[in-house]
């Protein structure tokens, strides 16, 4: 709900001075949409993207498919058929539509789309503290190592002192230029055990820059009451209120200070536009998609979430983060990538078919719609999996066919926005244990995201203590373009 605090008083159309800026169902996480829009617009250090160079400014939007839980790079993206049995595992490599590039047999559909994407097989970092999921996810989506790690290895809950999620910086410097949500995260926040959402919000940028959190399963009916008008506030009345606001702003200069304090300006107009345009509600309506398209992405939470990401960026959202819809350290036998207890059965029968179907559909769909050239797609987890089976690398116990956490070398996939398709960037060693060529830190991937959006990765923002902080201390991977 949008409201202006103040003394009660009746206006000409019968509602109070306090009520004249009240809009049903528009509150987002406790903040009014105008405040969200106003704070998002404080962006003044974006570089000139009129002449893209090495991908700079090429992207209009970003889709981050975040595989929280840490999928095994050897069993999906970087097969090692010549490695010892206890390394190469059960899966065979298969050819792709790009000569010389192989994937695991778990990804047959993606193999037909590899000409549209690049594999980065040299992602690597040394963890700070115990490398549990939460710490690794925080680093992957903020570009900063965690400030505090408890003795158990679990991080503290989300805090206003945290470093912002990449989407929050993007919505700050590249707000949507149409009446649309700037950033969205779905279908659930990142989570390990009881730590929910660490690294997923705006942190010291302020809650106005938090992504819009869906908290729903797109494979079910989506309810969006917070983007709808109340029944008692028809569109005509809301438009009349907007006209009244303009009249007050124009004819009562003595209210300028009050207007500034309560954002009685263009951001309220944007809020009205967001609600009246129905653009966001239409984007979330998957019933508008043909059945064959929905089937192609997969009739499951992950598939429909990825399809929804395409609809959102098509409607004008700048950044969509789709989280693998399982708690990061969940049960691998049902939904999770955390394959300590069993690796090959869950990947073959459960997880990889969903990933393969949705990711290949997204690349093909974006390309056919002419959106891939202006949309950056990044698919990655917080780390990979140990090359050797049945060993402990993080203090966890592992079954004979289980793989432990491995941040020292793993793979990410990147496509669109000027990234050359059909290539492999970087190289891992014979067992997928360490990079041999062109190591890439997660910070460099985030720097590449900013770069493609026309934002200098070294731009400084002020934290909660008014101290300057760079967006990310990484370098854009120019060899991708």
| Interval 341-357: pLDDT, tens | 999 999 999 999 999 99
Q: Burial letters for 72-96: b for 16+ Cβ neighbours within 10 Å, e otherwise?
A: bbbbbbbbbeebeeebbbebebeeb
Range of the domain at 10: 1-30+229-278
Integer-rounded Cα Rg, in Å, for the chain is 23
Q: Are 183 and 322 in contact (CB under 8 A)?
A: no
- Tokens standing for residue 66: 């975040």
Label the pairing between strands 435-437 and 427-428: antiparallel
Q: Identify whether residues 375 and 408 lie together within a single domain.
A: yes
State the Cα torsion 338-410-469-447 to the nearest 10°: -130
Within a domain: 43: no
d(CA 357, CA 272): 38
State pLDDT tens for residues 401-444. Answer: 999 999 999 999 999 999 999 999 999 999 999 999 999 999 99
Residues 261 and 155 grouped into a single domain: no
Do 264 and 352 share a structural domain? Answer: no
249 and 211 in a single domain? The answer is no
Confirm whether 127 is domain-assigned.
Answer: yes
Q: Has residue 17 got a pLDDT over 90?
A: no
Q: 445-465 pLDDT, tens per residue?
A: 999 999 999 999 999 999 988
* Separation of CA 343 from chain center: 26
Four-CA torsion 152, 158, 161, 165, nearest 10 degrees: 110
- Residues 199 and 249 placed together within one structural domain of the fold: no
Residue 269 has a pLDDT of 54
Q: Within this chain, do residues 122 and 191 fall inside the same structural domain, yes or no?
A: yes
Residue 244 lies in a domain: yes
My answer on whether 338 and 261 are in the same domain is no
Q: Is residue 44 part of a domain?
A: no
Domain total of the chain: 2
What is the tens place of the pLDDT at every residue in 23-75?
A: 333 333 334 454 445 444 443 444 444 545 699 999 999 999 999 999 999 99
């Amino acid at each position: 709900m949008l409201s202006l605090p103040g003394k009660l008083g009746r206006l000409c159309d019968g509602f109070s001075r306090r009520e004249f800026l009240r809009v049903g169902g528009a509150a987002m996480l406790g903040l009014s949409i105008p405040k969200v829009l106003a704070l998002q617009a404080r962006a003044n250090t974006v570089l000139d993207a009129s002449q893209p160079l090495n991908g700079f400014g090429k992207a209009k939007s970003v889709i981050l498919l975040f595989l929280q839980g840490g999928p095994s790079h050897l069993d999906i993206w970087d097969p090692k058929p010549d490695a010892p049995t206890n390394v190469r595992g059960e899966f065979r490599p298969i050819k792709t539509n790009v000569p010389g590039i192989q994937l695991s047999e778990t990804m047959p559909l993606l193999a037909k789309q590899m000409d549209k994407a690049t594999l980065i097989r040299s992602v690597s970092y040394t963890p700070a503290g115990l490398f549990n999921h939460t710490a690794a996810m925080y680093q992957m989506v903020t570009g900063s190592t965690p400030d505090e790690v408890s003795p158990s290895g679990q991080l503290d809950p989300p805090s206003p002192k945290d470093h912002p999620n990449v989407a929050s910086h993007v919505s700050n410097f590249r707000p949507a230029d149409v009446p649309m949500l700037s950033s969205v995260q779905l279908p659930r926040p990142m989570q390990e055990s009881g730590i929910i959402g660490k690294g997923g919000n705006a942190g010291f940028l302020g809650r106005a820059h938090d992504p819009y959190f869906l908290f729903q399963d797109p494979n079910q009916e989506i309810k969006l009451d917070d983007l709808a008008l109340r029944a008692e506030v028809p569109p005509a009345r809301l438009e009349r209120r907007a006209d009244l606001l303009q009249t007050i702003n124009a004819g009562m200069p003595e209210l300028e200070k009050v207007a500034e304090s309560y954002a009685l300006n263009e951001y309220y107009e944007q809020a009205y536009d967001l609600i009246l345009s129905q653009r966001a509600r239409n984007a979330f309506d998957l019933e508008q998609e043909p059945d064959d398209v929905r089937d192609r992405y997969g009739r499951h939470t992950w598939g429909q979430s990825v399809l929804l990401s395409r609809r959102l960026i098509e409607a004008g959202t700048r950044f969509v983060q789709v989280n693998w819809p399982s708690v990061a350290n969940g049960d691998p036998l049902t939904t999770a990538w955390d394959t300590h207890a069993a690796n090959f059965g869950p990947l073959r029968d459960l997880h990889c078919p969903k990933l393969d179907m949705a990711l290949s559909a997204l690349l093909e769909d974006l390309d056919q719609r002419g959106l891939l050239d202006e949309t950056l797609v990044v698919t990655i987890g917080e780390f990979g999996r140990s090359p050797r089976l049945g060993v402990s690398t993080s203090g966890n116990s592992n079954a004979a066919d289980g793989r432990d956490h491995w941040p020292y070398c793993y793979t990410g996939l990147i496509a669109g926005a000027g990234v050359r398709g059909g290539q492999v960037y970087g190289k891992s060693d014979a067992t997928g244990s360490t990079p041999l060529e062109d190591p890439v830190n997660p910070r460099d991937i985030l720097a590449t995201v900013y770069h493609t959006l026309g934002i200098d990765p070294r731009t400084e923002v002020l934290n909660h203590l008014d101290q300057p902080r760079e967006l990310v201390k990484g370098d854009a991977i120019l060899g991708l373009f």
